[in-house]
Structure 1
Amino acid sequence: MKWLHYYNTLQTAAPPSLPPAGTFCNRTWDGWLCWSDSAPGTAMQLCPDYFQDFDPSEKATKVCNLDGQWFRHPESNRIWSNYTQCQMYTKDKLMFAFSLYYLAIVGHGLSVVSLIISLCIFSYFK
């Protein structure tokens, strides 16, 4: 429930700021991060650190359209935040884990083959 603590801290610690002049997107909570009032363009924040698979040094983005509305995903028509960069290095870590897994399988296989050969040698000289 670290995200809930993060959300509550933002609600109490961050005083409401004056909205930017002109067209802007309203502040919002997308379930993972709190996004403040934003001028049209792309808003960026560091990825949340309370998800184990996320890299907190990467950036999450949210697009504010020129009409002052947050970007909606074309397939779901829901307001969308882009967290794909947060998992950028997770695929590399997964590939590394698979490499270690296959290395362990090969190592165990060689061990079993060596054991069988040694048993054959010992039984021959018995």
Structure 2
Amino acid sequence: MVMDLIIMFSSGAKKKATGSSSGQRVRELQEVMEEYLKRCRINLADKTRLIQDSMRMEAQLSLALTQLKICLVGGDCDSQSFRFWASGAAFHTQMLIHLAVLERREEPLSARAVLEQYKEDLAQIVSTYRTKEP
């Protein structure tokens, strides 16, 4: 999944990011995801710092996804931005599972909760996307 995101980012995000408001949100989402991956590598040997950075980056990623969703539902919805939102939502869910493991929680309740929220968001985005298509 990570490799798919990297390929998708390198091939399309730069072109997309210069136009619409969703393009700007896609770029912000990409930046947060890339920074999170970098922070994980940097802090691999320091679990406490890894947890702290993960919590901080998780909040930033959540906000970036919410902002992109608002753009998409607001009518600035194209297939590429839609794909980025879906990939980001999956990435965010995995991030929460990773945090639960780091914190030695038996059940990743936050990941389950966000997954349910993303299902609702997806229904809204799909509805907007379908009404926009010719």
Whether the TM-score (by the shorter chain) exceeds 0.5 is: no
Larger Rg: 1
Report the TM-score, using the length of structure 2 for normalisation: 0.29
Higher strand share: 1
Higher relative contact order (CA 8 A, sep 6+): 2
Report the TM-score, using the length of structure 1 for normalisation: 0.30
